Structures are given as structure tokens and as C-alpha cells.
Amino acid sequence: MCGNDYNGPLNVETYSGFSLDHKYCEVDNIHDIRHIVRFYNLRNYPVEINCTASLTANPGKIEFKSTLSSDPNTTNVCWQGTITSLGIKGKQDFSHVRLINLQTSFGDEGVNVEIQANWPQPGKRERIELSFTVKVL
């Protein structure tokens, strides 16, 4: 499965794909495959979000590579992103990280995502962990 969802006060969808609306489960050397994390705030309060993604294999078959010109929060095995205030009923995503095939081996590679959500106004916090697998060709 090349994606995973969480439904709660903060809905989260994470997957690999060509774009925000096109999931794709294979990482090859032909396609520009992104790691995408989408958020939907269902509470009636703004939310602060901290997101960390990591690869599970050691040694890895793939690596992360940011599309941003300067991104100190992305390494080849981990990336982090922050949304300081996602509004009421707000939607936002992270889609700036590519999945790069290292051409060292083939098979499955896992991607883990951890989200810390904080709604300061009502004083609510939530920790969400998701994972999914991509096929490395």
C-alpha cells in the first residue's frame, strides 16, 4: 500500500505520487515521485503542526531530496516540516520532497510519518503515527 490515512480532529493523508491527486506506488528512475502529506483541520480552532518523515530501511533503497533551493530540515533519510497555524477547516500539504531511487537494490521500502498537532486555544494535543510502503524498481 503506497499510502495511509488518519481520520480524527486533524485528518492526515500520506502517500507517494506524481502530484497531489495522483498516487503512485513505485519508485523508479523515470518518474518524479513525491512524498506527500496532506492535512485537514476539522476543529473549530487553528492548529500548529510538526511533521517528521523517515525511511525505514538500512541501508536504504531510496532517499529523500527536497525540491526547495535551501532546506536545512531535509536529509537523505529524514525531513521535517512545520505549519505554524492551519486555520479552521483549513487544508494544507507538504509535497516538496522527492523519493529518489538509489539503484542499490530492489523491493519494498517503508516510509514513517509522525505528526504532533497542537490546538493552543482549547489546550488539546494529538500525536499521529502513519507508515506506508513503496516498491523500488
pLDDT tens digits, residue range 58-111?
889 999 999 998 899 999 999 999 999 999 999 999 999 999 999 888 999 999
Secondary structure letter of residue 29 according to DSSP: S
| Pair type for strands 78-86 and 47-55 | antiparallel
Fold of 3-136: Immunoglobulin-like (2.60.40)
Tell me the per-residue pLDDT of 4-19, one tens digit each, with 9 for 90 and over. 999 999 999 999 998 8
Nearest to 4 by CA among 117, 91, 131, 109: 131
- pTM metric for this prediction: 0.94
- How far apart are the C-alpha atoms of 22 and 34, rounded to whole Å? 10
Give the closest residue to 8 by CA, choosing from 133, 82, 117, 132: 117
Residue 111, amino acid: V
